[in-house]
């Protein structure tokens, strides 16, 4: 599920705002309606209902008064009881009449009621007098009762009119109240529906948010391409199992960058997903977990298992070999078939380290050793490997300060021109002395190449060699100084500009400088290499193929490259015999170079016999201990002036 966008968030905010505004509007409307209903009910409660009550009380008093007259006329009550009742009812009628005048001050029906009441009230005294003077039921009593009935009926009729008016007001107030209550009820229902819709929407939003948070949590702990757990999960898992034995395996896919460069990122991503799938299946069969750390680097963690004796055991060799076995089958993508391999380095906890960071360092050192050995290899960590790694790191740190501390120096090994026996030139060789101890070039040159220090060091070597050649130009105009160029230096995009700058700044004759380049540099990117060689020739520099015969030895490219000299590797010279295979190869290379118009120099010449054979076969120059060992510039300068009289140092 995708993350909610800005529009979705604004819809949530808008709905919440609508609910709040609707709630405020509902509150205001209900307050207004309540006030309206209150205004309608206030007169009802304070005037109409008391008036209606007074009408009922007045009518009740009139009825009781009329009833007392009828009972006394029929002798149902005695004289005293009659007087008591009529006196009480007269008071009630008088009070009721006063109430009616207050409740209905302007009503036309009040006056007839008052007139009828005025006629009705004296009838009690008249009836009492009439019955007191005559025995039995005098004839005039009937007429008096009929008159009382007429007065009572008139009062009842007028009270009915008043009640009807009051009832009409009550009904109107009731209708208004019902209308207000209905309106409020409808709004409450509408607000309830709105709130329900908002609640459902918010429930959906919260559910979507929870799913999004779960997905974000998964993405934070997993690689998005392969769905493998990432580096953060890997480090967390390492800390979680630090109290248990486990095996940590770091792996790197060999030649993965070639897939990226050759087939593109889409195929590389598909390859990575397929590799992750295979490795996960292989690891899980042996209880392992696979993590993708970065790029082509993976990690596998095998937690220790208890054997029959209850002792925890680390990953078995079969478990580790299963990882490499998973890579042996080709990966096919359409018409493309890829055969990647896997370099692995392993370390054991707690046998080799109890510290998480140190264990990772050990596994990385083992992985580096596997890659340096050619890849497709599993290398377990050992103390010797760790010591070698620490030593290399120490050397790298020391080498980084070698230039500024002036610990680097150039030695020059002389080269002899076989045709005349004269000095042909020198090869500039880099030497390093740290704290008074000489460090072998075989040790520090690969370190410089790997860490990139070869770029500034190589530039310094070329500059020093050019300056020295400039000093020797006056003494030996034909003298040539050869400088080795490293592969990383040759591949650097600024190499040509650097060479041109050094030649210009030192003022050396570029024809006196020879750059030695190996075949591998040219074959790696032959188009760029060929163009770069032509550019160097345009600067006036000499070019030589170093260690010829040990690499590609491609004649097709050799005839196209603008080189001046081939340098036969010393591996062919060391055990040279006239009837040996090396001799056949050397003679073939000399004849080939001669037909291509190239000069030939053989390195590693240490005996007079080797020199004689090479001279007889047509080799142009030699270099080796027979003619001269590497020497400091000062000694080499004396050698330039009179090479025949100089004693070469025994070691350098």
Is the CB of residue 215 less than 8 Å from the CB of residue 1?
A: yes
Q: What pLDDT is stored for residue 151 in this prediction?
A: 83
Mean pLDDT computed over 174-178: 76
DSSP-derived secondary structure for 523-560:
HHTHHHHHHHHHHHHHTT-EEEEEEETSS---HHHHTT
User: Cα–Cα distance between 415 and 623 in angstroms, integer?
Assistant: 5
% of the chain at pLDDT higher than 70: 91
Is the CB of residue 231 less than 8 Å from the CB of residue 293?
A: yes
Closest CA to 371 of 539, 257, 246: 257
User: Cα–Cα distance between 280 and 60 in angstroms, integer?
Assistant: 101
% of the chain at pLDDT higher than 90: 22
Does the pLDDT at position 640 exceed 50? yes
User: Cα–Cα distance between 391 and 393 in angstroms, integer?
Assistant: 5
Is the CB of residue 299 less than 8 Å from the CB of residue 291?
A: yes
DSSP-derived secondary structure for 452-488:
TTHHHHHHHHHHHHHHHHHHHTTT-TT-EEEEE--HH
Residues 5-15: b if buried by 16+ CB within 10 A, e if exposed: eeeeeeebeeb
Mean pLDDT computed over 107-123: 82
- Which helix (H) or strand (E) segment holds residue 434: the answer is strand 422-434
Tokens standing for residue 259: 């897939």
Q: In a 3-state reduction of DSSP, which class is residue 340?
A: coil
Angle at CA of residue 448, ends 447 and 454, nearest 5°: 160
Residue-averaged pLDDT of the chain? 83
SS3 content of the chain, % helix, strand, coil (to 5): 60, 15, 25
Does the pLDDT at position 648 exceed 60? no
Where is average pLDDT lowest: 15-24, 451-460, 596-605?
Answer: 15-24
Angle at CA of residue 568, ends 567 and 574, nearest 5°: 140
- Which helix (H) or strand (E) segment holds residue 417: the answer is strand 408-417
Beta partners for residue 251, in sequence order:
298, 344
Mean pLDDT computed over 238-253: 86
Where is average pLDDT lowest: 77-91, 97-111, 381-395, 424-438?
Answer: 97-111
**Other Cβ atoms closer than 10 A to 320:** 24
User: Cα–Cα distance between 122 and 126 in angstroms, integer?
Assistant: 7
Does the pLDDT at position 602 exceed 80? yes
Does the pLDDT at position 136 exceed 60? no
Highest mean pLDDT among 21-25, 284-288, 387-391, 587-591: 587-591
Closest CA to 63 of 112, 120, 109: 120
Highest mean pLDDT among 25-39, 312-326, 608-622: 608-622
User: Cα–Cα distance between 363 and 380 in angstroms, integer?
Assistant: 8
Q: What pLDDT is stored for residue 498 in this prediction?
A: 95
Mean pLDDT computed over 181-207: 80
Highest mean pLDDT among 13-22, 54-63, 480-489: 480-489
Does the pLDDT at position 3 exceed 60? no
Integer angstrom CA distances of residue 59 from 92, 116, 122, 154: 10, 13, 18, 11
* pTM of the model as a whole: 0.62
For the chain, the straight-line distance linking the first and the last C-alpha, in angstroms and rounded, comes to: 70
Where is average pLDDT lowest: 132-141, 274-283, 466-475, 489-498?
Answer: 132-141
| Cis? peptide before 350, omega within 30° of 0 | yes
Does the pLDDT at position 384 exceed 70? yes
Does the pLDDT at position 353 exceed 90? no
Beta partners for residue 331, in sequence order:
338
Mean pLDDT computed over 3-23: 69
Q: pLDDT grade, residue 553 (50/70/90)?
A: low
Q: What DSSP character marks residue 370?
A: H
Q: Which domains does the chain have, with CATH numbers?
A: 6-201 (1.20.1330), 231-381 (3.30.70.270), 395-642 (3.20.20.450)
Residue pointed to by tokens 């990953």: 315
The packing angle between helices 79-103 and 49-73, to 10°, is 160
Highest mean pLDDT among 189-193, 333-337, 555-559, 578-582: 578-582
Residues 184-215: b if buried by 16+ CB within 10 A, e if exposed: beebeeebeebeeebeeeeeebeeeeeeeeee
User: Cα–Cα distance between 365 and 380 in angstroms, integer?
Assistant: 9
User: Cα–Cα distance between 433 and 407 in angstroms, integer?
Assistant: 6
Alpha helix ranges (H) inside 285-355: 317-325
Mean pLDDT computed over 122-149: 77
Q: pLDDT grade, residue 565 (50/70/90)?
A: very high
User: Cα–Cα distance between 282 and 488 in angstroms, integer?
Assistant: 38
Does the pLDDT at position 298 exceed 60? yes
């Amino acid at each position: 599920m995708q993350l909610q966008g800005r529009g979705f968030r604004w819809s949530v905010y808008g709905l919440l705002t609508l609910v709040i505004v609707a709630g405020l509007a509902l509150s205001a409307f209900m307050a207004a309606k309540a006030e309206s209903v209150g205004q309608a009910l206030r007169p009802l409660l304070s005037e109409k209902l008391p008036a209606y009550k007074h009408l009922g009380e007045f009518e009740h008093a009139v009825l009781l008064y009329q009833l007392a007259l009828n009972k006394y006329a029929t002798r149902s009550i005695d004289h005293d009881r009659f007087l008591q009742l009529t006196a009480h009812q007269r008071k009630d009628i008088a009070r009721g009449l006063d109430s009616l005048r207050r409740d209905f001050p302007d009503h036309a029906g009040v006056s007839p009621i008052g007139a009828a009441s005025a006629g009705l009230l004296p009838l009690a005294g008249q009836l009492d007098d009439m019955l007191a003077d005559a025995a039995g039921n005098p004839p005039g009593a009937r007429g008096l009762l009929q008159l009382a009935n007429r007065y009572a009926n008139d009062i009842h009729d007028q009270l009915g009119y008043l009640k009807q008016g009051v009832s009409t007001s009550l009904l109107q107030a009731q209708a208004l109240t019902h209308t207000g209550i209905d309106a409020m009820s409808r709004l409450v229902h509408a607000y309830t529906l709105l709130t329900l819709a908002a609640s459902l929407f918010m429930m959906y939003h919260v559910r979507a948010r929870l799913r999004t948070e779960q997905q974000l949590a998964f993405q934070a702990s997993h690689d998005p391409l392969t769905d493998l757990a990432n580096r953060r999960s890997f480090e967390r898992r390492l800390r979680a199992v630090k109290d248990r034995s486990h095996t940590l395996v770091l792996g790197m896919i060999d030649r993965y960058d070639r897939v990226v460069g050759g087939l593109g990122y889409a195929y590389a991503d598909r390859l990575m997903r397929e590799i992750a799938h295979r490795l996960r299946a292989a690891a899980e069969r042996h209880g392992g977990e696979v993590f993708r750390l970065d790029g082509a680097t993976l990690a596998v963690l095998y937690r220790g298992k208890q054997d029959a004796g209850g002792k925890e055991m680390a990953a078995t060799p079969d478990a580790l070999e299963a990882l490499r076995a998973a890579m042996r089958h080709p990966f096919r993508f359409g018409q493309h078939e890829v055969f990647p391999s896997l370099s692995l380095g392993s370390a054991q906890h707690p046998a080799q380290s109890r510290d998480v960071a140190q264990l990772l360092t050990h596994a990385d050192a083992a992985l580096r050793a596997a890659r340096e050995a050619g890849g497709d290899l599993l290398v377990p960590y050992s103390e010797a490997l760790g010591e070698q790694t620490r030593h290399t790191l120490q050397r790298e740190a020391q080498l980084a300060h070698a230039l500024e501390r002036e610990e680097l120096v150039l030695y020059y090994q002389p080269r002899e021109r076989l045709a005349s026996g004269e000095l042909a030139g020198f090869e500039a060789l880099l030497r390093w002395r740290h704290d008074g101890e000489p460090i072998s070039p075989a040790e520090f040159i690969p370190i410089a190449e790997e860490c990139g220090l070869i770029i500034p060091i190589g530039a310094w070597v070329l500059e020093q060699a050019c300056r020295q050649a400039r000093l020797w130009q006056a003494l030996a105009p034909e003298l040539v100084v050869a400088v080795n160029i490293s592969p990383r230096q040759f591949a650097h995009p600024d190499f040509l500009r650097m060479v041109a700058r050094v030649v210009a700044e030192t003022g050396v004759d570029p024809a006196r400088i020879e750059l030695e380049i190996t075949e591998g540099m040219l074959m790696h990117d032959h188009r760029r290499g060929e163009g770069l060689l032509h550019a160097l020739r345009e600067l006036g520099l000499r070019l030589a193929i170093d260690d010829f015969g040990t690499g590609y030895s491609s004649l097709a490219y050799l005839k196209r490259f603008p080189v001046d000299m081939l340098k036969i590797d010393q591996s062919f010279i060391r055990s040279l015999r006239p009837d040996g295979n090396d001799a056949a190869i050397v003679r073939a290379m000399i004849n080939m170079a001669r037909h291509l118009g190239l000069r030939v120099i053989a390195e590693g010449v240490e005996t007079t016999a080797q020199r004689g054979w090479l001279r007889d076969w047509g080799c142009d120059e030699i270099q080796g201990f027979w003619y001269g060992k590497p020497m400091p510039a000062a000694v080499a300068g004396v050698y330039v002036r009179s090479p025949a009289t100089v004693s070469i140092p025994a070691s350098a």
